[in-house]
Structure 1
Amino acid sequence: MKNFIEVDKTEEEQVEQVKRWIKENTLQIVVSVSLGLGSIWGFDAYKNYQHSQLIEARNIYLALTSNPSDTQAYEQLKNNHADSGYLDQATLILAKNAVANKDYTQALEYLTPLSDASNVSIAKVVNMRIASLHLEMGSYKQALDALNTAPNSAFNGLYNQLKGDIYLADNQIDNAKKYYKLAFNQISKDSGLQNLIKIKLNDLN
């Protein structure tokens, strides 16, 4: 567009200049306004689309909670709603169902991609479940490897208690005692798990 107005002209000249400017730039003005309105409507449409996608992801997730064997629904969630926030929770549900069916290999396939999830709490819980599965399968080294992650005060006691279980299963009694003692001191006294660890320690003495 041409310059809108030249400030060094007289008032009458400026009025005439405004009229000429509007006449010469009518098309550009209409297009600009249309684009502006289109952007607003486009943004609203995008928000509505996002909302509908979130509702769809939620419905698929709820269906999986009722029927965790519905792998087709899981694949739909994985392919179409990977960033919805429901996928990680759905993966944990399917892994739990695989464990219930004693399909530990399948459970590990579900859990392994979540072992380094951006959500620290999910990653820590997943690594504990992976370690527990390897323990159940008698793969003690893999079980310990799953727990060799960055320390986190909220999980240290749980991790060390599980390490004690792994060493005990592997008949490494001294190491089992070591990690049970660490866990006992790290877990809250109000936790029933502390009493369980105390029983385990007494059994080893």
Structure 2
Amino acid sequence: MEIYQSEEQQVEAIKKFFKENGYSLGAGLVIGLGGFFGYNYYQDSKQAAIESASSQYQQNIEAMTNDGETFRTNSQSFINENKDSSYAAFTALALAKDAASHSDWQEAEKQLTMAIELAPSVEVKAIAQLRLARVQIQQENLDDALATLGKTFPEKYQASVAETKGDAYLLKGDKEQARSAYQAAADAGGLESSPQLQMKLDDLAVAVNLAG
């Protein structure tokens, strides 16, 4: 099962936002505290820290395809040393993706849990939670997956959440719940983003008809 089928563009858009605007996110905390020069010093320092983290993150990602072991070692060190940076969560997502590519589902689950804890926004958290549920499904920890999917998600993820719930219910052997979840996904616009959804609905319809 492809667990990274629909969120990559969203992740890239979020990373771009934090790279371009991250330095200003905490600015309101210091306005009025340090005066003009203090604020400028804070702003410059914050921007320098973000640029440094961005550069380190990019170097780690480039190593992902060339030297997997270096990527994993450096990325874990980066997370440990930069937990206040938005790039720590993105690095954990990348480590999870690498682990999933080797079917190391336990490591993927560990890194996605880390990404959830370090998520700099509700969208990053939602993506990590959705991927965690898919990894839990891969491990056939279906009740855990449904519990993960039962957490709060932004409305834009409702179709993906419902479809993933359907996958969990189907593996549990609950075809009625699976069909209900898939239909909820379709009603939420999931047919536009997931070509497989219609096939899942059709397959369930055939199975129900044969059983009848």
Identical residues among aligned pairs (%) = 22
- The answer to whether 1:53 aligns with 2:54 is no
State the match for 1:184 in structure 2: 186
Q: 1:46–1:121: structure 2 CA closer, same or farther, 3 Å change rule?
A: closer
- The answer to whether 1:172 aligns with 2:174 is yes
Q: Secondary structure at the match of 1:56?
A: helix
State the match for 1:15 in structure 2: none
State the match for 1:201 in structure 2: 201
Matches within 5 A, 1:1-205: 47-68=43-64, 69=68, 70-115=71-116, 117-187=119-189, 191-193=192-194, 195-205=195-205
Task: Could you tell me which runs of 5 or more consecutive residues in structure 1 were left unpaired when the two chains were aligned.
Answer: 1-38
| C-alpha contact 1:158 1:187 (8 A) present in aligned 2 | no
| C-alpha contact 1:53 1:81 (8 A) present in aligned 2 | no
The size of the alignment, in residue pairs, is 165
| C-alpha contact 1:131 1:143 (8 A) present in aligned 2 | yes
Task: Could you tell me which runs of 5 or more consecutive residues in structure 2 were left unpaired when the two chains were aligned.
Answer: 1-34, 206-212
Distance 2:125 2:202 in 1: 32
Distance 1:170 1:94 in 2: 29
- Higher relative CO (Cα under 8 Å, sequence separation at least 6) belongs to 2
C-alpha displacement at 1:40, in angstroms?
7.8
Q: Secondary structure at the match of 2:156?
A: coil
Distance 2:130 2:124 in 1: 10
TM-score for both structures, normalised by structure 1: 0.70
TM-score for both structures, normalised by structure 2: 0.68
Distance 2:184 2:129 in 1: 19
Q: Which has the higher helix share?
A: 2
RMSD: 2.4
Q: Secondary structure at the match of 1:52?
A: helix
Counterpart code for 2:171? A
